[in-house]
Structure 1
Amino acid sequence: MVDQERLLPHDIEAEEALLGSLLIDPDAILKVVTGLKVDDFFDEMHAAIYGACLALYQRSEAINQITVAHELMRLDRLEHVGGAAYLSHLIGAVPTSLHAEYYGAIVERMSVMRKLIMAGGRIAAIGYAAGPEIDVSLSQAEDALFQVRMRENSRDFVSIRDVLDKYFDQAGRTDDEGAEGIRHVQTGYAGLDGLLGGLQRSDLIVLAARPS
Structure 2
Amino acid sequence: MAMSLVPALDLRPPHSDVVIAVAPHNLEAEQALLGVLLYDNAAYERLTDALNGRHFYEPFHQRLFQSIETHIRKGQLAEPILLADEFKKDPAFEELGGLRYLAD
CA distance in 2, matches of 1:34, 1:67: 25
The answer to whether the 8 Å contact 1:52/1:72 transfers is no
- CA distance in 2: counterparts of 1:15 and 1:36, whole angstroms: 11
Please tell me the residue identity of whatever aligns with 1:80.
A
Q: For residue 17 of structure 2, what is the aligned residue in structure 1?
A: none
1:57 corresponds to which of 39, 56, 72: 72
CA offset digits 1:60-82 (Å, max 9, x no partner): 10111122223334xx43x4223
In structure 1, the partner of 2:62 is: 47
Deviation of the 1:34 alpha carbon: 2.4
Deviations 1:110-145 (A, max 9, x none): xxxxxxxxxxxxxxxxxxxxxxxxxxxxxxxxxxxx
1:4 to 21, 24, 40: 21
List gaps (5 residues or longer) in structure 2: 1-19
**Does 2:98 align with 1:86?**
no
SS at match of 1:52: helix
TM-score, scaled relative to structure 2: 0.67
Asked if 1 retains the 8 angstrom alpha-carbon contact of 2:41 and 2:72, the reply is no
Q: 1:23·1:63 contact (CA, 8 Å) conserved in 2? A: yes
In the TM superposition, residue 49 of structure 1 has moved relative to its aligned partner by 1.1
User: Is the helix fraction higher in 1 or 2?
Assistant: 1
Shift of 1:18: 0.3
Q: Per-residue CA shift, 1:177-208, capped at 9, x if unaligned? A: xxxxxxxxxxxxxxxxxxxxxxxxxxxxxxxx
User: Cα distance, 1:32 vs. partner?
Assistant: 1.1
Secondary structure at the residue paired with 1:4? Answer: coil
- Cα distance between partner residues in 1 of 2:35 and 2:70: 17
Give the drift of 1:47: 1.0
Aligned positions, number: 82
Partner of 1:24: 39
User: C-alpha offsets along residues 89-116 of structure 1, whole Å, 9 cap, x if unaligned?
Assistant: 3xxxxxxxxxxxxxxxxxxxxxxxxxxx
Identical-residue share of aligned pairs (%): 27
| 1: CA distance, partners of 2:83 / 2:64 | 7
Consecutive aligned runs of 4 or more in structure 1 exceeding 6 Å deviation: none
List alignment gaps of at least 5 residues for structure 1. Answer: 90-212
What TM-score, normalized by structure 1, do the two folds share? 0.35
> Contact between 1:19 and 1:50, CA under 8 Å: does it hold in 2?
yes
Q: What's the offset of the Cα at 1:28?
A: 1.4
